[in-house]
Amino acid sequence: MLDTTKNYCTLYLLRHGETEWNVSHIVQGHKDSPLTANGLEQAAKTARELKDIKFDAIFSSDLLRAQRTAEIIKLERDLAIQTSHLLRERSFGHYEGMDKDNYHAATQAFFEKLQSLTEAENWQYKFGSDVESDEELVNRFMVKLREIAVAYPGKTIMVVTHGGCLRTFLMKMGHVKYGTLPAGAFQNAGYMKVRSDGLEFIIEEVKGLKTI
């Protein structure tokens, strides 16, 4: 049988290594914090795991935690890291920099309202005017993935991004049921392998995912 997907782009979608704010349970969003020593080692471990894969290009979120991870994954590869704001974590607006306990207290009423909404309404629900909904996040993330897939048919590309992007992408693709992946479900330096022609996405492997 003819393989109609042989010219699909192969995407390795990777979450950045652990950061200081991950450890301190502080909401990051578009704000940044450095990788911890553990985060550096997580990235190095994944780099060793992927060392035999020939990447044709490397893309990264323009946030520093993702760029630093991309630099480690890059190893000795003679490739420039191309950055994009479309690969950023969800914008948490005025909640960014807040510790998780205060964040959960401030958003408790919003979370309670979610229980009465349909799945379609949940996708569009916003915790504030400056906070991205799941739909807004996954749509701009997928715009960049489609752009990369179309530009690199038959090639293998590394994309370093964030946990929020990856978990919403998995739910959007129907790989897991909506609402079954909590924040932090996609582990630091975990990754998935996806093939795409810019329209269709085929998830072939997911490594580093914990479900509830």
**Concatenated DSSP letters for 52-112?**
TS--SEEEEESSHHHHHHHHHHHTT---PEEEEGGGSPPP-GGGTT-BHHHHHHHHHHHHH
Residue 171 to residues 45, 64, 93, 117: CA-CA distances in angstroms? 27, 26, 23, 17
**One of 16, 96, 132, 162 is an active-site residue; which one?**
16
Task: Based on the residue annotation, tell me whether 119 is a catalytic residue of this protein.
Answer: no
Residues 69 and 14: beta-carbon distance below 8 Å = yes
Q: Which amino acid is at 154?
A: G
The SS3 call for residue 158 is strand
* The token pair that represents 145 in the structure block: 């993935």
Q: Give the full edge-to-edge strand order of the sheet including 81-84.
A: 81-84, 57-61, 156-161, 9-15, 186-196, 201-209
Task: Based on the residue annotation, tell me whether 16 is a catalytic residue of this protein.
Answer: yes
**One of 18, 89, 96, 132 is an active-site residue; which one?**
89
Catalytic (active-site) positions = 16, 89
